[in-house]
Amino acid sequence: MKILVCVKRVLDPQVKARVKADGSGVDLANAKMTMNPFDENALEEALRLKEAGVAEELIVVSIGGGKTEETLRHGLAMGADRAIHVVTEEALEPLAIAKVLKSIVDTEAPGLVLAGKQAIDDDSNQTAQMLSALLGWSQSTFISELKIDGDSATTIREVDAGLETITIKMPTVVSVDLRLNEPRYVKLPDVMKAKRKPMDKIELDSLGLDTAHRLTTLEVIEPEPRAAGVIVNSVAELVDKLRNEAKVI
Amino acid sequence: MSNLVIVEHDNNEIVAATLHTITAAQQIGGDIDLLVAGENCQAVAESAAQITGVATVKVADNAIFAHQQAENLATLIVECAKDYSHVLVAATTFGKNVLPRASALLDMAQISEIVEVKSPDTFVRPIYAGNALATVQSADAIKMITVRTISFEAAAESGGSAAIEAISGGTDTGLSSWVSQAVSSNDRVDLSSAKIVVSGGRGMQNGENFSMLQSVADKLGAAVGASRAAVDSGFVPNEYQVGQTGKVIAPDLYIAVGISGAIQHLAGMKESKVIVAINNDSEAPIFQVADYGLVADLFEAVPELDAAL
C-alpha cells in the first residue's frame, strides 16, 4: 500500500501572529515557518505504518510557493520516500486544496491519505473531510489511534464528549490529532539524505482545476486586547476581589 | 433568505451548542428550519419544535443516521441544502466532522467558526489561534457555516411552535460503522456551558492532584478543565482540554492553576469574563491575560482557596 501524507507550511506555533498595519492579512515576511504540527503527527503515523510493514511507499504532498520545498524536504528528512510539490504562489482555500489533492490521489492511487486535523494558520479544519467527500471514500477525523486490518481500519476519534471508536472502509482519508503519536526528531544525516530524494514539481495551472476563490477577505484585524489585570498578594485578597469587585463568586 | 440549522443530539436530547447556532441564524435573517437526523429521535424533534423562532423541524428518522456519521449524514444535508441560502451547524467536533464533507459535495466553500454576522454574506472568523480576526465575504449560492458557540447567546428553548415534518432521503454509503463511545469522566458540570471553570496544567504534576481542583470546583458549582500539557501527560482525559484544538469556552470566571499560558491555550479561554491565574512563575504568559494574578505555589494556594470558599 502507498500512503499519501498532506502537509502545509505554516507560521511556527511558538510565534505570535502579527497583523499587517493595512489590515490585509498576517505578516509572514521573515517569520519563522514550519511544518503544520498536526501534519507532523500524520507523517509520523505513516512512517510507523511503513516500519510495521503495512505500507511500502510514503509520499508527502504540499501546495504552495517556492519555499514549500523546505517543508517537503523536512518531510523527506523525517523519512518519506518522495515528495510532490504543487506549485502556486496563490493561497488556495480548503475546497480548492481538496480538489488539487484529489487529482494527486487519482494519479498516485494511495490506499490511505493522512492529514493533520487543521492547519494552525487559518484554523479551517476542512481539507481532509472535503478530500474524502470528493473521492467518495470513508473518513475518520481527529483521531488518536489508528489500526489497519486488511480492507478496514479501526480508529479512535477525540470528540467533545470523550473518545469515539469507529471502523472505516479502506481506502480512506484520516485526519489526525496531536495525541496520536510523538513525531520523531530529524537527524543531520537524514537531512543530507533528504536532499537526494525525488521531488516532483507540478504547476497548479497544469492540473486544469477550478481553484477560484469563493471567499474574499475584506479585512484582518487584531482582537481587542484584554485590559491589564492586577497581581494580588494573597488568597484572601483574591477571594475578596472575586466576591466584592468582580462579583463572580 | 432561508436558514437550515443542523441539530446536534444523541437521539434523546439536543446539545446546547445548537441553540447558540440558531441565534447566529437569527442574526442572518429569514426563515429558520432545523434538520434532525437520527434513529428514534422523535423526542429530539419535539423539543426542537419548542425552540423560539423556528419555522419547520425536518426529521429524518432512519437507522442509517443512528450515530450521525459524516458519510451518510452529508448525503442528506446535500439533498436538503438546495432549498436554503445558509446551512449552519455548531463548530463542535460533530459539526466540524460533517459540514466540510457536505460542502465539498455541494461544491461550496465552508466558512469555519464564525464569531460575528456582519451581513448575510459577510462574517468574522478567528484565525491564527484567535490572534487575528478575518472578515470574509462569500460569493457562493449556499453559505456553509460552522458557528463558534461562545460568540452567540443561546436561543430560548421554549415559546416556539414549529411544524414537524418527516422527511426521507440520504444514502447508506456503508463506508463507516460506529463501534463505541467511551463514557465521559467529566460528568459533574458540563465544561462547554459552565459559568465557572477551574483548569489545571502541567504544574498539577499528576492526575491525583486534580482532586484539589475538583474540590474547589464543587464548592463553586464549576467544571474542571485542563491545558493540553495536562492531557498529554495523562493527568486527565481529552474531553477536559481547553484550547485551540480542544474546547473554546467563555465562562464568567476562569481559574487557571499551574498553566503557563501557551498561545494555543489562550485561544480557548481568553474570551472568559474574569480570568484568574495561579502560578509560581511570575513570568508565565498567563498573567498577561489574567484580571487577577496570584504568584504562589499552587499546592499551598489551592487548599487555602478551598478553605476560604
DSSP one-letter code for A226: P
pLDDT value, residue B189: 84
pLDDT value, residue B76: 98
- Domain of A202? 2-245
Tell me the shortest Cα–Cα distance from A232 to chain B, in angstroms.
Answer: 5
pLDDT value, residue B108: 98
Which grid cell is B114? 464564525
Could you check whether the bond before residue A171 is cis, i.e. omega within 30 degrees of 0? yes
User: Hey, what domains does chain B have and what are their CATH numbers?
Assistant: 2-166 (3.40.50.620), 196-308 (3.40.50.1220)
Question: How far, in Å, CA of B100 to CA of B102, rounded?
Answer: 5
Residue B142 has phi, psi (to 5 degrees) of -120, 125
pLDDT value, residue A15: 92
Q: Which are the contacts of B290, defined by CB distance < 8 A and separation ≥ 6?
A: A229, B256, B275, B276, B277
Burial, B119: exposed, middle or buried (Cβ in 10 Å; 0-12, 13-18, 19+)?
A: exposed
Residue B164 has phi, psi (to 5 degrees) of -105, 125
Using CB atoms, pick whichever of A11, A131, A232 lies closest to residue B293.
A232
Cα-Cα-Cα-Cα dihedral sign, residues A91, A92, A98, A103: negative
Tell me the shortest Cα–Cα distance from B185 to chain A, in angstroms.
Answer: 8
pLDDT value, residue A99: 98
Number of domains forming the structure of chain A: 1
Give me chain A's average pLDDT, please: 97
**Per residue in A102-140, pLDDT tens?**
999 999 999 999 999 999 999 999 999 999 999 999 999
pLDDT value, residue B39: 98
pLDDT value, residue B188: 72
pLDDT value, residue B186: 61
Q: Could you give the count of Cα atoms lying within 13 Å of B176 in the half-sphere of its Cβ?
A: 34
| A177 inside 8 A of chain B by CB | yes
Q: Give the ipTM.
A: 0.96
pLDDT value, residue A204: 98
Q: Is the pLDDT of residue A89 over 80?
A: yes
Which chain A residues touch B304 with a CB distance below 8 Å?
235
Which domain CATH number covers A113? 3.40.50.620
To test the contact with chain B by mutation, choose from A127, A160, A166 the residue with the greatest count of B C-beta atoms within 10 A, namely A160
| A229 inside 8 A of chain B by CB | yes
Burial, A1: exposed, middle or buried (Cβ in 10 Å; 0-12, 13-18, 19+)?
A: middle
Cross-chain Cβ contact A159/B93 below 8 Å: yes
Residues making up chain B, counted from first to last: 309
Per-residue confidence of chain B (309 residues) as pLDDT tens digits?
A: 999 999 999 999 999 999 999 999 999 999 999 999 999 999 999 999 999 999 999 999 999 999 999 999 999 999 999 999 999 999 999 999 999 999 999 999 999 999 999 999 999 999 999 999 999 999 999 999 999 999 999 999 999 999 999 999 999 999 999 999 987 666 678 899 999 999 999 999 999 999 999 999 999 999 999 999 999 999 999 999 999 889 999 999 999 999 999 999 999 999 999 999 999 999 999 999 999 999 999 999 999 999 999
Do A72 and A7 contact (CB within 8 A), yes or no?
A: yes
pLDDT value, residue B185: 65
- pLDDT-derived band of residue A94, with 50, 70 and 90 as boundaries? very high
From A50-64, A208-222, A223-237, B180-194, the region with the lowest mean pLDDT: B180-194
